[in-house]
Structure 1
């Protein structure tokens, strides 16, 4: 094990929150790359200016570290949504901005996508046990519910929009764009993953979600599904 310098040890005591953030950032990367089973606390410690012992001191055990890394990954996306300040925007513009943000965030944070994929493999066990993640995502639905409510009140959105279903639709395209890139590119080529292709998909995704919400585009009752 690498010996830590006196400067490193001072950092642990003088800036514990900074140390925890560094550990969590390294943990997200390690878990995303190697999975819950494959990731090693020794390797996470090697990515930081701390030690395995200090990681256990802060997080208890490997599962505790994984759970907090997952929470940090979700917190990043929810903090980004909060920073959009959508409340002052007209509903259509607010929804479009939220969709564009989600597409951009997921594209720029593949480790978040991989963490969610890992959690799905493990039947969302850590997520179910985390009140923090559940509360973060309740806030995300509340934000969409508020946008939908304003849109319906102003007569620009269809009535009865389900914010959970809308969140699913926004997430589905943005998530698939990252999670299935290797297989999609192998089957169909990687043109859609060029900058031009990504901007086209981003614009089309925004337009599609807005079209779902807009009042003047109802689903035809005779449409075969």
Structure 2
């Protein structure tokens, strides 16, 4: 009886693992594609390399994503989705206006610092003039909640007298994003030009503090 009882969980576990295997394969392909695309861009990336890195094969990649361009778009969407999900992990609506704005700026800056692959993907897609991202059915939906959060912070800040009036949330977010993106997308050239290691923790903190003062200084009435 003891043997028969122990055998049942083993069978149930192995049977239950099979439906999840396609998800694992798909995830492995996406992880491998992120590395390959970030390093070589869309044109330079090779499906053979992605298949080898993911432990899959080209047939599976084409079955899941259609072609290399479809895989590229999925990797892009996943990168944006991950950023938004991490950003929304904190309930900014419960923060005071200045605190919430500081959080958004700090998150954006540190996300760029932690994810150089994200910078590389965006640089590559901009070279293509966002021709692939334009086909995305979800990218704008990802940013709508963010604009709602920023608008709420601005409105509450205006009522409390800590923010100026008539600030466009899209323009403000573009500025916040630029302060982090430009720094890290040009980190090596800037470090060389100015003779500073701008990747060091000290220099990153200096830059983040400066960026916050620039934005908050603009927002003050």
Separation (CA, whole Å) in 2 of partners of 1:130 and 1:38? 22
1:222 aligns to what? none
2:93 aligns to what? 87
Match of residue 135, structure 1, among 141, 155, 160: 141
Deviation at 1:13, TM superposition (A): 4.9
**Contact 1:157–1:213 under 8 Å retained in 2:** yes
Match of residue 22, structure 1, among 9, 23, 28: 28
Q: Deviations over 1:36-95 (max 9, x none)?
A: 100011111111132211111111110100000000010111111111211100011000
**Contact 1:67–1:126 under 8 Å retained in 2:** yes
**Contact 1:127–1:134 under 8 Å retained in 2:** no
Select the structure of larger CA radius of gyration.
2
Deviation at 1:17, TM superposition (A): 2.2
Separation (CA, whole Å) in 2 of partners of 1:24 and 1:146? 35
User: Structure 2 regions of 5+ residues with no counterpart?
Assistant: 1-15
- Helix, strand or coil for the counterpart of 1:160? coil
Q: How many residues align?
A: 206
State the superposition RMSD in angstroms: 1.6
TM-score (norm 2): 0.88
Match of residue 167, structure 1, among 164, 173, 182: 173
Alignment of 1:1-225 (within 5 A): 13-215=19-221
Separation (CA, whole Å) in 2 of partners of 1:12 and 1:213? 54
- Helix, strand or coil for the counterpart of 2:23? helix
User: Structure 1 regions of 5+ residues with no counterpart?
Assistant: 1-9, 216-225
Task: Summarize the Cα distance change of 1:162–1:26 in structure 2 as closer, same or farther, 3 Å threshold.
Answer: same
Separation (CA, whole Å) in 2 of partners of 1:90 and 1:23? 41
- Helix, strand or coil for the counterpart of 1:212? helix
- Helix, strand or coil for the counterpart of 2:198? helix
1:221 aligns to what? none
Worse overlay, 203-212 or 65-74: 203-212
